[in-house]
Amino acid sequence: MKVVILCGGLGTRLSEETKTKPKPMVKVGSKPIIWHLIKYYQYYGFNDFLLATGYKSNVLKKYFENTKIKKSNIKLVYTGKETLTGGRLLRLKKLINDDEFLMTYGDGLSNVNLKKLISFHRDSKSIVTLTAVRPPVRFGEITLSLKGKINQFKEKPQSSKNWINGGFFVMNKLIFDYIKNDKTILEKKPLETLARKKKLSGYKHYSFWQCMDTMRDKNYLNKLWKENKSPWKKW
C-alpha cells in the first residue's frame, strides 16, 4: 500500500524556518520531520512513498539524493508551487494502482496505530477515513460556579469538546472522483461532500498528536525528542 505525504505547502506560520526550506525539512532533533514520518510508517510495514512536493522542492530532492532510508522506496513528484491539497493528490492518481492508499501531511507526528486505523476504515465502508484528534489546549481550564468558586481545575488538558482533522488518512481511490483540479482544497468540497454522503469516517485517536505549525510547536517536538519522550519513536 502506498503512502502519500503532502510536502508542498508554504508554511507561512513557520517563516523563521521556511524561508529557506519546505516545512517537511524542518528538523526534529538532527533529522527533518519528513524522516520521522517515513520511519513511523516503516515501523508498520509501509515502505512505498510518494512525496507530493511544491515549495522549495529542490531542498527535498537534494536531501533524498544524499540520504537513503533502508528498505524504503521514495518517489518525489513535483505537484506545482501554487497547487492546493486536493490538486496535489490528484496529480498522483496515475501512480496509485491499489484500491487503497494512506495519506498524511508532512508536518505532523502522532503515535496512532496504523493497523487499527486501516481495520476501522475497512469496517466503516467509507471512501475516506481521517484520524480525529483532540490536541492539548494551550492554557489550563477552570470551571466556575455562579458565585465565582472554582469547581474544577485542569492544567492544559486534552481538549474535551471538539475533534479535529489530524491527518493520517486511509483513502479509497474513489476519492479522485471528488477532486476537480489543482485549485481543489481537499478539506473543503471533497471531504464536505463525502461527509454529507456518509462516506467519510473519523478514527478517534486519544493519544499523542502534534502538528508543526509554529516555532512553539517545533520547540515542543524537539524538547520531546531531546528528553527521549517522543511517543512516535517506535523504531
Chain segment 45-58, per-residue pLDDT in tens: 999 999 999 999 99
Digit-coded pLDDT (tens) for 111-153: 999 999 999 999 999 999 999 998 776 656 666 667 666 666 6
Alpha helices in 53-188 (DSSP H): 57-66, 85-90, 114-124
pLDDT tens sequence across 183-229: 999 999 999 999 999 999 999 999 999 999 999 999 999 999 999 99
Distance between CA atoms of residues 92 and 83, nearest Å? 12
Cell representation of residue 180: 476537480
Q: Of residues 155 and 35, which shows the higher confidence score?
A: 35
Distance CA(69)–CA(47), nearest Å, equals 10
> In angstroms, rounded to a whole number, what is the distance separating the alpha carbons of residues 46 and 231?
19
Q: Residues 122, 222: contact at Cβ < 8 Å? A: no
Whether residue 146 lies inside any domain: the answer is no
Contact 3, 103 (CB under 8 A): yes
Instruction: Find the domain containing 46 and state its range.
Output: 3-135+161-226
For residue 149, being part of any structural domain is answered with no
Residue 92 covered by a domain: yes
175 located within any domain: yes
- Residues 6+ positions from 40 with CB-CB distance below 8 Å: 109, 232, 234, 235
User: Looking at residue 156, what is its pLDDT?
Assistant: 57
* Res. 160: pLDDT tops 60: no
Residue 35 resides in a domain: yes
For the chain, how many structural domains are there in total? 1
**Composition of the chain by helix, strand, coil, percent to 5:** 35, 25, 40
Domain assignment of residue 233, yes or no: no
**E strands in 93-228:** 100-105, 108-110, 128-133, 141-144, 150-154, 164-165, 169-172, 200-205, 209-211
Asked if residues 36 and 83 have their Cβ atoms less than 8 Å apart, the reply is no
In this structure, is residue 235 part of a structural domain? no
Considering only CA atoms, which of 32, 43, 57 is closest in space to residue 3? 43
Q: Which of 62-76, 97-111, 132-146 has the lowest mean pLDDT?
A: 132-146
CATH code at position 32: 3.90.550.10
In a domain? residue 144? no
